[in-house]
């Protein structure tokens, strides 16, 4: 479901998500994953390549040669419409930040997230637009965690989880949204998410807490592989 944007005055290409750094130990304890009857799913972008074009680059920033990457959180309602966009990390240029959220609200459209019964549900997740710049590796994730070792022997792995959260902030269920490609890591994905991510909170348009789904992307790096790991 990930579709993010690197935009220059002449080019549009795929990019990644927001990254924060944390440290964790990868324990052998298994996390409880969604069962086969669980129909939950994160939101799916509808034709995201049409959302951000080269012509959307703010003219004032273009004239001044201003660049930057803006990370933002978007809330999607049960019909698939974006009803809120909040800046998580500013590009440093107000017009670039404002244009990013304007485009998401105006053009962003999704197949809505689903709860475990297959019913549409509000959701939140993080995306980014890189306005004529390249963001570092760690800006691709909600969390980047260092571990002592991975059972697969790999130096790095990444995955996405979806958490369904009640209005009071309780995580009702957690499942794999995007597999790491490693069964051992996938079994522990939800446990790691609960340890590393801040408590997910879904809010309505009037800012009141509601039941919803949060999608987060995490990366695991062995020791100091943070500097050179090649992640998907």
Q: Can you give the pLDDT at residue 7?
A: 53
Q: Can you give the pLDDT at residue 4?
A: 67
Q: Can you give the pLDDT at residue 115?
A: 95
Q: Can you give the pLDDT at residue 3?
A: 59
Picking from 169, 174, 167, 210, the residue whose alpha carbon sits closest to that of residue 40 is 174
Q: Can you give the pLDDT at residue 9?
A: 46
Q: Are strands 212-222 and 123-131 parallel, antiparallel or unpaired?
A: parallel
Rounded Cα distance between 170 and 101, Å, is: 28
Q: Can you give the pLDDT at residue 140?
A: 66
Q: Can you give the pLDDT at residue 20?
A: 35
**Residues of the chain scoring pLDDT < 70:** 1-36, 135-140, 224-232
Picking from 146, 140, 158, 194, the residue whose alpha carbon sits closest to that of residue 26 is 146
Q: Can you give the pLDDT at residue 181?
A: 92
56 to 74, 90, 161: CA distances (angstroms): 19, 18, 31
**The CATH fold of domain 5-227:** TolA/TonB C-terminal domain (3.30.2420)
Q: Can you give the pLDDT at residue 2?
A: 45
**Under 8 Å between Cβ of 148 and 68:** no
């Amino acid at each position: 479901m990930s579709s993010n944007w690197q935009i220059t005055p002449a080019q549009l290409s795929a990019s990644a998500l927001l990254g924060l750094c944390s440290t964790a130990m990868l324990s052998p304890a298994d996390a409880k994953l969604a069962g086969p009857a669980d129909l939950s799913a994160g939101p799916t972008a509808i034709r995201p390549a049409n959302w951000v074009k080269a012509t959307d680059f703010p003219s004032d920033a273009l004239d001044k040669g201003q660049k930057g990457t803006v990370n933002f959180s978007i809330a999607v309602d049960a019909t698939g419409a974006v009803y809120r966009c909040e800046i998580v990390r500013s590009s440093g240029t107000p017009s670039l930040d404002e244009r990013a959220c304007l485009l998401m609200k105006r053009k962003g459209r999704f197949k809505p997230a689903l709860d475990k019964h297959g019913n549409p549900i509000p959701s939140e997740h993080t995306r980014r637009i890189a306005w004529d710049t390249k963001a570092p590796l760690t800006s691709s994730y909600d969390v980047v965690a260092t571990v002592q070792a991975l059972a697969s022997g790999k130096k790095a792995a990444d995955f996405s989880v979806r958490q369904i959260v009640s209005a009071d902030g309780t995580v009702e269920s957690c499942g794999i949204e995007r597999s790491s490609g490693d069964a051992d890591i996938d079994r522990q994905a939800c446990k790691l998410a609960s340890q590393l991510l801040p408590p997910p909170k879904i809010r309505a348009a009037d800012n009141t807490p509601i039941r919803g789904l949060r999608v987060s992307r995490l990366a695991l790096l062995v020791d100091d592989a943070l500097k050179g790991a090649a992640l998907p």
